[in-house]
Chains A and B, each alone.
Chain A
Amino acid sequence: MKKKLLVILIAILCITVYSILGVLACTEFFSGSWPSANPLHVHVDSSASAFTQAINPFCWNYKTSKVFFPSVHVGGTTCSSCKVFIKYGFLPYENVIAITQNYTSKTKIDSWMSGSWVKSVISINSRQVMLSPTTSFEFGSASNFLRQLVIVHELGHTLGLKHQILYCPESSIMWRNPINSSFNTPRPHDANTLVTKYGP
């Protein structure tokens, strides 16, 4: 009788501890990652098909053997092997150039920073963004150089890279305000970050 009661009490204790740890774990920031980022096939939605020239994930290849973008599929055909999706359209309530969301399951809500990602969606805003009284940015009418810059930056997020913090002495495509950059491909610092995250 005492043994059974003890077993029940231990079971209750285990459930409680597990629950508390689960809640605490959710309050921490964990950078998730791909179970395998080699290969990561990219699918470009028909809404973004006009910008395929600027969609260059290949510049992220060969930084580490663990990350490889082999192909870009364009248009409405289903791509079952694709894990990265790029679309273009009007984002409501957002004065933003683009947003990347990584998902741990097919449902939108479970896109947590921790966990193992199954897909990534890059949403490019068609909204015009004023940068200063004399300059504005609109992806649809931007140069191919700038479009690629935006896409490569967002693909960095797809791979789990965060914005480069302020006053970082090293140049990076992950600088949070890269529109004035003179480059539109990953820098050595980005490659090093990728190696740190995924291994050589």
Chain B
Amino acid sequence: MSRYRCLIAIGIVLVVGLGILAYRHIVPTITLTSSTALYPGYDTAENMEYASEVVVVVSVVGKGKSKDVNDWLYTFTPLKVERVFKGDLLPGERIEFAERGGYERKVTGLYFIGREDYVHIKQNSSYLLFLIEEGDTGIYFTTGGPEGKYVWPLPQEATAENLEFTDCWGVDLDLYNSILARYGGN
């Protein structure tokens, strides 16, 4: 009888343990890396546009894939070009967008490694992006770090939530107003 109870207890612990492990593999644990970067700061839309190879409105057309590149975790997401303000891309063209951070699966579960100063692009969304291409790879990344990505259509009210910025980064209102004036009416 005692042995039977012991087996039941072990069974319960195992089931609970496996349940927790399964939960951790299904629901990602969000962690923010203690990485922080010094980006070039642009005070006007014109300066940021000049520094960019392309300025485009895109829609997110697929799920991002996270990959380790030289010990840095990046997420590569397929985008469809909707409008072109600068550069030789064409509407309808597909590009790949690289963002630092992403998902990494370990034995202990699924982890989302985020960044202190950045919110990753979301599925079924559109963005105005200031981009630079990595060589001729067709892979693009933002010109000014977090300030190279804006929710499209551009919100009239510049809040961290509206613009998908993080609170700790803050929104450069002068730059945003400049971007709104340059692209908001288009």
Q: Please, how many angstroms separate the alpha-carbon atoms of A194 and B84 in the complex? A: 46
Task: Evaluate whether A166 and B170 lie within 8 angstroms (CB atoms) in the complex, with A15-B16, A26-B31, A137-B40 already known.
Answer: yes
Q: Which residues of chain B are near A109, meaning CB under 8 Å? A: 73, 104, 106, 111, 113
Contact between B51 and A94 (Cβ–Cβ < 8 Å)? Answer: no
Closest residue of chain B to A161, judged by CB?
B36
Q: Please, how many angstroms separate the alpha-carbon atoms of A163 and B35 in the complex? A: 11
Contact between A129 and B40 (Cβ–Cβ < 8 Å)? Answer: yes
Q: Please, how many angstroms separate the alpha-carbon atoms of A111 and B34 in the complex? A: 6
Contact between B36 and A157 (Cβ–Cβ < 8 Å)? Answer: yes
Q: Which residues of B contact A (CB under 8 A)?
A: 5, 9, 12-13, 16-17, 20, 23-24, 27, 29-42, 46-47, 50-51, 69-74, 98, 100, 104, 106, 111, 113, 116-117, 132, 134, 139, 141-145, 148, 168-173
Q: Please, how many angstroms separate the alpha-carbon atoms of A130 and B144 in the complex? A: 10
Closest residue of chain B to A30, judged by CB?
B32
Q: Which of B116, B141, B171 contacts A94 (CB 8 A)?
A: B141
Q: Which of A11, A94, A130 contacts B100 (CB 8 A)?
A: A94
Contact between B132 and A95 (Cβ–Cβ < 8 Å)? Answer: yes
Closest residue of chain B to A16, judged by CB?
B16
Contact between B33 and A8 (Cβ–Cβ < 8 Å)? Answer: no
Task: Evaluate whether A100 and B36 lie within 8 angstroms (CB atoms) in the complex, with A26-B30, A93-B134, A132-B50 already known.
Answer: yes
Closest residue of chain A to B1, judged by CB?
A1
Closest residue of chain B to A25, judged by CB?
B29
Answer yes or no: A97 CB below 8 A from chain B CBs. Answer: yes
Task: Evaluate whether A112 and B31 lie within 8 angstroms (CB atoms) in the complex, with A15-B17, A130-B50 already known.
Answer: yes
Min Cβ gap A2→B in Å is: 12
Q: Please, how many angstroms separate the alpha-carbon atoms of A178 and B47 in the complex? A: 17
Q: Which residues of chain A are near B16, meaning CB under 8 Å? A: 12, 15-16
Q: Which residues of chain B are near A27, meaning CB under 8 Å? A: 29-30
Q: Which residues of chain B are near A102, meaning CB under 8 Å? A: 34-35
Q: Which residues of A contact B (CB under 8 A)?
A: 1, 4, 8, 11-12, 15-16, 19, 23, 26-27, 29, 32, 91-103, 108-109, 111-113, 117, 129-133, 137, 150, 153-154, 157, 160, 162-163, 165-166, 176-179
Contact between A108 and B38 (Cβ–Cβ < 8 Å)? Answer: no
Given contacts A100-B36, A101-B34, A129-B40, 9 further A-B contacts (CB under 8 A): A12-B12, A23-B24, A92-B70, A93-B134, A95-B142, A101-B33, A131-B41, A137-B40, A179-B40
Q: Please, how many angstroms separate the alpha-carbon atoms of A108 and B72 in the complex? A: 9
Q: Please, how many angstroms separate the alpha-carbon atoms of A26 and B110 in the complex? A: 12
Q: Please, how many angstroms separate the alpha-carbon atoms of A153 and B143 in the complex? A: 21
Contact between B32 and A163 (Cβ–Cβ < 8 Å)? Answer: no
Closest residue of chain B to A127, judged by CB?
B132
Q: Which residues of chain B are near A100, meaning CB under 8 Å? A: 35-37
Contact between B20 and A19 (Cβ–Cβ < 8 Å)? Answer: yes
Q: Which residues of chain B are near A179, meaning CB under 8 Å? A: 40-41
Closest residue of chain B to A166, judged by CB?
B170
Contact between B40 and A162 (Cβ–Cβ < 8 Å)? Answer: no
Q: Which residues of chain B are near A101, meaning CB under 8 Å? A: 33-35
Contact between A154 and B34 (Cβ–Cβ < 8 Å)? Answer: no
Closest residue of chain B to A32, judged by CB?
B34
Task: Evaluate whether A177 and B116 lie within 8 angstroms (CB atoms) in the complex, with A108-B71, A157-B36, A166-B171 already known.
Answer: no
For this complex, 25 residue pairs linking A to B, each with C-beta atoms less than 8 Å apart, are A19-B23, A23-B24, A26-B30, A92-B70, A93-B69, A94-B37, A94-B141, A95-B143, A95-B144, A96-B37, A96-B145, A99-B38, A100-B35, A100-B36, A101-B33, A101-B35, A103-B34, A109-B111, A137-B40, A157-B36, A162-B36, A163-B169, A166-B171, A176-B41, A177-B39
